[in-house]
Amino acid sequence: MFLSMFLISVLAKPIVFRRKPPAGIVYGLAAAICFLLFFIFQYVDYSSQQAYFKDQIERLTTSNWQPPRVSGNVTAVNSTTANSTGTHYINIPMPQNQNLKDALTALQNDLNTLQNGINSGKTTAKQLVNNQITAFLDNYGPIQNSTINLTVMGLPGTSVTPGTNVTVVCHYDKTDSTYTGTIASNGRAVIPIKIGKATPGYQVNVDVTAGNANTRTSFRVQ
């Protein structure tokens, strides 16, 4: 750009504008000075960058800085014997947590106690629910000392027929209450459940069995 300004000032202006050559030379000298200052500024900026990089290299060379390393033993595995991706593995030692070990030990002891109770007959595993019958309540939020009705119905294609005995077990927070009934000729059994002094807010689970069919429902005392 500065070179173009210089050429225009020296050559074009005397011809196009019919100015005297000394006037063109003056414009050309101004352009040349600007051109020279541009190169001086570029050189100073380049020199300062080189000095900065040199200083950083000297700092890193004279310091004791080392890149971060992974602790532990590094074991290189031949890619032909490791896997098809050629992965290399690093053996990193894991610290032993005493609290974790104690928790695992306590869990194993609880499992052993449960298994021993089942083997000795003191603990009975709950029967799986197959939902081959339908059971519903007329009130899922009863109050204390009230009575609610549980209706039990056999589903089509099941073994629940009129005359099938029905057993209902309500699991309260401190005790269980058992009720019985029989499927009537209309395919239903309506069993009244007395709430009594049940704990308010506690969800009472109700297991219903009719022959080989069973289901589960619940209610919460208000």
User: Which amino acid, residue 113?
Assistant: T
The residue that leads in pLDDT, 182 or 90, is 182
Looking at residue 160, which CATH number applies to its domain? Answer: 2.60.40.1930
Give the rounded distance of the alpha carbon of 133 from its chain centre: 38
In the prediction, which pLDDT does 150 show? 92
Tell me the residue range of the domain where 52 lies: 2-62
Counting residues of the chain whose pLDDT is more than 70, the rounded percentage is: 57
Mean pLDDT of the chain: 74
Asked if pLDDT for residue 82 goes beyond 50, the answer is no
Q: Specify whether the backbone of 18 is left (phi greater than 0), alpha (psi in -120 to 50) or beta.
A: left
Asked if pLDDT for residue 179 goes beyond 90, the answer is yes
Per-residue pLDDT band for 170 (boundaries 50, 70, 90) equals very high
In a domain, 55, yes or no: yes
In a domain, 6, yes or no: yes
Is 58 in the same domain as 137? Answer: no
* CA 162/CA 155 separation, integer angstroms: 12
Q: Select from 80, 71, 77 the least CA-distant residue to 89.
A: 77
Asked if pLDDT for residue 20 goes beyond 70, the answer is no
Q: How many domains does the chain have?
A: 2
In a domain, 74, yes or no: no
In a domain, 91, yes or no: no
Q: Which two tokens stand for residue 180?
A: 């019985």
Q: How does DSSP assign 44-112, residue by residue? A: HHHHHHHHHHHHHHHHHHHS--------SEEE---HHHH-TT---EEE-PPPPPHHHHHHHHHHHHHHH
The residue that leads in pLDDT, 187 or 9, is 187
Is 137 in the same domain as 216? Answer: yes
Contacts of 220 (CB under 8 A, 6+ apart): 140, 141, 201, 202, 203, 204
In a domain, 89, yes or no: no
Per-residue pLDDT band for 122 (boundaries 50, 70, 90) equals very low
Pairing between strand 203-210 and 188-194? Answer: unpaired
In the prediction, which pLDDT does 60 show? 73
The residue that leads in pLDDT, 1 or 167, is 167
Burial class of residue 187 (count of CB atoms within 10 Å of its CB; 0-12, 13-18, 19+): middle
The residue that leads in pLDDT, 92 or 179, is 179
In the prediction, which pLDDT does 125 show? 46
Of 62, 83, 102, the last residue of a domain is: 62
Give the global pTM. 0.42
In a domain, 119, yes or no: no
Of 19, 46, 62, the last residue of a domain is: 62
Expressed in percent and rounded to 5, the helix, strand and coil fractions of the chain are 40, 25, 35
In a domain, 26, yes or no: yes
In a domain, 123, yes or no: no
* CA 132/CA 208 separation, integer angstroms: 11
* CA 217/CA 24 separation, integer angstroms: 106
Asked if pLDDT for residue 68 goes beyond 70, the answer is no
Of 12, 33, 62, the last residue of a domain is: 62
Asked if pLDDT for residue 200 goes beyond 80, the answer is yes
Q: Which two tokens stand for residue 159?
A: 């073994």
Asked if pLDDT for residue 51 goes beyond 80, the answer is yes
